[in-house]
Structure 1
Amino acid sequence: MKVLFIYPPVTRPKDFSAKAVRVSVFFPMGIAYLLAVLERAGGHETAAFDALSEGDIDEGRPMDGGERLRYGLSDEAIARKIADFAPDVVGVACLFSAMQWDAENVCRLVKRAAPAARTVLGGAHAGCMAEEILREEPAADFVLLGEAEESFPALLAALKSGGSFSKLDGIAYRADGGVRLAPKTRYISDIDAIPFPARHRFDMTRYFTSAKSHGFFRNAPFTQMITSRGCPYKCAFCALDAHWGSRQRLRSAGNVLAEIELLVERYGIRELHFEDDNLTADKKRALELFEGMTQRGFHLSWHVPSGMAVNTLDERLLEKMRESGCYSVTLAIESGDPEVVRKLMNKPVDFKRVPGLVKKIRALGMDVRGFFMIGYPGETRDTIRRTIEYAKELELDWSYFSITSPIPKTAMYRTCIEKGYIKEGDFDPIRSFHRSIIRTPEFTPELLREIREEAIIDVCFRNNPNLLKYDLDRAIADFSSVVNHYPHFDFANFYLGEAYRKKGDIPRAVESYQNTLKANPAHAEARRRLQELHHD
């Protein structure tokens, strides 16, 4: 069979452009794993393209009279690629909620360009919303639940033979006028047996040169990899159990090191981003991995964009991480109130360890950052304030404050529905991770937006520990990064000016204050600074 894989483009409302939240390019890891599996098995002609990275990802192309913006390839370009390959089956990635419309749109384009082709959606969000997608989108034929290295080849075999889908594991499809869903019950126990992702099927330079990671990077070329599947924790806000299963499965350290060696030798990789949900949950394996990276002399820099679990870290592990090239640790703390974390989030965080970890990470010369959620259902204005003050007291290099988003099918989502904090249908796949939809007796979405904006300014800029006492160069680097991504943020320009002024670089300070006034002509502090520096 002819099998085509497509990673969708990004389409956004005009008020939610890349200027509001940047568009990030990810190497399509899931597609690359499936390509590798089909290559090894043989029997199919395969192709793939990334409709995001192969098009414009900076400015966006107006659609629908300018009401929306498209990043990546146009519908016409995608349809041409589909028609040129003439596939029998098309696999479409739908990892995140924000991808749903674009993934469904790709399915519609498939039906237009290759009407006989069958469409298959996969990824964490697609699996979570399988029944809803099949009920609402006629162009979607199948949805695979969870990992698909076994279920996708099984589906292809059934399609080729004309066999039944009823005995397949982890699949949703239409039958008898409705949607049938076979739950995911079988997971690959030996994930070392899965071949490495078929990176050779992609132009990897697109990902090396785009400089659009979803976190940050220090050296290029960089790439992502994953060394485990799942997480042993059962956080109420997380939907990953439904995708990866209820227990964590680990690749051996030797298998991971072999892939790293390939990345270094074949692609010249200088930095890795481990996309694991909990990289250090198994300390023995983590130590073996980090020691192996050091012993093999990879000389890589690395970090974990999705954060690291506080309870898995200790001084020895941090030292081995640093030796192996880790330059930044983001602690997934989530709240400054232990009761919120323990009772509401169901997340294990030992708060007694956090200050010591922060000091140790800083002493080892690594950046130390923190993830925090505000507006969690059940918390109060006081607990939100405690979270912000706690982040400030820790003296982190950077604090990430996110609006709590109730992901469908999670325990937190069910709590919100039961208590009337949200209604079915309130979840906005595109905006909900940045704009609250939760209303409780304690807070509204509007209040949370104000609190978050002030927390970012107060903790990350005004009271940034590197600006005030530690490392002006690091403050300048962090503030510059924000300005580069969001030049219209007046506060980022202003505090970049403050950092340059404290360092004695008056010309750059003046330029930053002037940029502040371009973004906000009413910014009194910037105007006063320019008067003090006689550049009014």
Structure 2
Amino acid sequence: MSDKKLFVTLVRGPIVFKIGALNNEATPSIAYAYIASYLKKKGYQVAIVDAIGEGLNRTYPLKDHPGFDCQGLMFDEIIAMIPKASNVIGFSCMFSGEWPVVKELITQVRRHFPEVLFVGGGEHITALTEYSLYDCPALDVCVQGEGEYSFHELLETYSETGSFVNVSGIAYIDKVGQYRQNENHISGLHDIDDIPWPYWQEGYLEKFWALGKSYGIASERDIPLMFSRGCPYRCTFCSNLRMWNGLYTLRNVNDVIKEIKYYVERYHVTNIQLYDLTAITKKSWIVEFCRLMIDNGLKVKWSLPSGTRSEALDEEVLRLLKNAGCSYVVYAPESASPRTLKNIKKRIDLDQLTRSVIKAKQLELTTRINLIIGFPSETWSDVFLTIFYGLKMAFRGVDEVPLFIFSPYPGTQIFNELLEAGKVKLNDDYFFKLTSLGSYISADMVSNNSNINDRTLLAVRSVFMLLNYTVSYLFHPHRIQRTIRNLFWKTEAATVFEHRLKDKLKRNRILRY
């Protein structure tokens, strides 16, 4: 192979969603921005083709899968944007519900680039690497776990030798059709501060801002940011252990502050949205961060839309969060049943979490609590405990209490146990059922609960959500005015519900501004 650096193109497919879903928001890809930044640092030329960012608010039906739509560019448009000079094309699949569409996209791109090296990655592919390679023969090799280092090693080795078989952290199908997975197949967390800040293509973020697109709550100019990588916890319903091997590391706090300063000066951002799995675990770190935000006069708002641990969120920290510009905090107890919490290895003190949430509300922070019902071993007693807790917290002022129905997700301990027991059958229908969880009107889902059937769980969720928002707005009527104002004000949304509702109304052309 030539000593010349390879030309790498990263391709992101469209969003896949069940018709009627509210949780299919288009967001900038911080994953591709990080990988592109790292590869550019190493001297590679990198192009990003983002079907979502280039086709915001454009939807089209999946002809072979009635009831499902895509948001973003169509396949032929994506292919036309891929540079002909590409030597390597990378594809990522974050959510298993999107795998059937990503697979078809990769297959169609292969027809136009028959000699190019195709690399897959992301959480779905890390969780089901062997399945993905056999299900999508157009893929040459998959990177597992953290992407920057293994992908770079693959490119370096492939440039020098024309092969990748000795690269760590990858898997592939060999010439005789056998699955091969190298040692140390899930990359450990390397020096997180060695990874440069994300590379945002010129004009890329502006497309999302123009249409009010963001991950959590919305403001005029939101930008993703990460404090950390990984998660130290081992919840049985989460794929963290498979993706990150249970490792967790925080960035240097001064580097985070420098990055925020740069975004404020360069992009005039109005809100920092943290994409971390677990942003707050170490009290001393978050205290130092908040004090540096205050000392540096950074007036930008920031939020925790992914959820975080509550152990470090005592009154001192919550006051600092408020004074440092934090506007939205998501707590994730998942369940109010002690039995369920033990079964799913969710190591939390629910009483302590509740005290933290109430104190956050007293300090006028917008709060959300995420709850899940339908875990495989749950009984009606467990479900009622969670429902009662959710309604109680809505009454006490928590702004959002969404209730989700559990579904066994690839890469999780529960999924692996069900797969081994023959209770899960891997195919496109299964993956589309995972996508259906985002719709409150779809009964096409799978929970694998042995005590309560799926339709009953759907009915319970629907009734709960109706009661939840009734309680929230009835006992806190100022929210009615706030929501109406935010629906018709172009750049603001105080809650995820407001943001998702506004986005759906705009996509359906009911709201126009």
Deviations 1:168-211 (CA, angstroms, capped at 9, x unpaired): 11101121322211243542432111111111456220122232
Matched, 1:9 2:10: no
1:279-290 superposed matches below 5 A:
279-290=279-290
- 1:407 paired residue among 409, 426, 439: 409
Distance (whole Å) between structure 2 residues aligned to residue 345 and residue 267 of structure 1:
42
Aligned-residue sequence identity (percent) comes to: 27
**2:268 paired residue number:** 268
* Contact 2:229–2:248 under 8 Å retained in 1: yes
CA drift at 1:482: 6.2
Q: Tell me if structure 1 keeps the 8 A contact 2:374–2:449.
A: no
Q: Which amino acid aligns with 1:167?
A: N
Give the partner amino acid of 1:416. Answer: L
SS at 2:28's partner residue? Answer: coil
- Alignment match, 1:220: 220
Change (3 A) 1:151 1:121: same
Instruction: Pick one of 395, 414, 418 that aligns with 1:416.
Output: 418
1:329-381 Cα offsets, whole Å, 9 max, x none, are 1111111112211x211011112213321221111111121000010111111
8 Å contact from structure 2 (residues 378, 449) kept in 1: no
Deviation at 1:424, TM superposition (A): 5.0
State the Cα deviation string for residues 392-426 of structure 1 (Å, max 9, x = none): 11222210101101112311113434667645559
User: Based on CA coordinates, which of the two structures has the bigger radius of gyration?
Assistant: 1
- Structure 1 counterpart of 2:34: 33
Which amino acid counterpart does residue 116 of structure 2 have in structure 1?
A
After the TM superposition, which of the residue ranges 176-185 and 253-262 deviates more from structure 2? 176-185
CA RMSD of aligned residues (A): 2.4
The aligned counterpart of 1:128 is: 127
Displacement of 1:427 in angstroms is 7.2
The C-alpha deviation readout for 1:83-116, integer Å capped at 9, x for no partner, is x433111011212212322322332232122211
Match for residue 502 of structure 2?
A: 484
- Structure 1 residue ranges without an equivalent (≥5): 489-536
1:449-484: per-residue Cα shift (whole Å, max 9, x none)? 00000010112x2222x4214634346566765653
Deviation at 1:249, TM superposition (A): 1.0
Which residue identity is paired with 2:87? D
Matched, 1:453 2:462: yes
SS of residue matched to 1:277: coil
Shift of 1:226: 1.1
> Aligned letter for 2:31?
G
Aligned length: 478
Q: Is the 8 A contact 1:436 1:448 kept in 2?
A: no
Q: 1:174 to 1:415 in 2, by over 3 A?
A: closer
Paired residues of 1:94 and 1:122 also in contact (CA < 8 A) = yes
Equivalent residue letter for 1:233:
Y
Q: After TM superposition, give the deviation of residue 262 of structure 1 in Å.
A: 1.1
Offset from partner CA, 1:227-257 (integer Å, 9 cap, x none): 1111111111111122223221111101111
Instruction: State how far apart, in whole Å, the 2-side matches of 1:135 and 1:65 are.
Output: 22
Structure-1 separation of matches of 2:125 and 2:186: 17
SS, match of residue 70 in structure 1 = strand
Give the aligned residue type for 1:403.
I
Equivalent residue of 2:158, what SS? helix
The one of the two structures with greater contact order (alpha-carbon pairs below 8 A, sep at least 6) is 2
Give the Cα separation in 2 of the matches to 1:300 and 1:231: 26
Gaps of 5+ in 2: 1-5, 438-443, 487-494, 507-513
> Normalising by structure 2, what TM-score?
0.87
Moved more, 417-426 or 173-182: 417-426
Deviation by residue 1:253-302 (Cα, 9 ceiling, x = unmatched): 01111111111111111101101111111111111112111211121111
TM (norm. structure 1) is 0.83
Q: For residue 293 of structure 1, what is the aligned residue in structure 2?
A: 293
Distance in 2 between residues matched to 1:387 and 1:308, nearest whole Å: 19
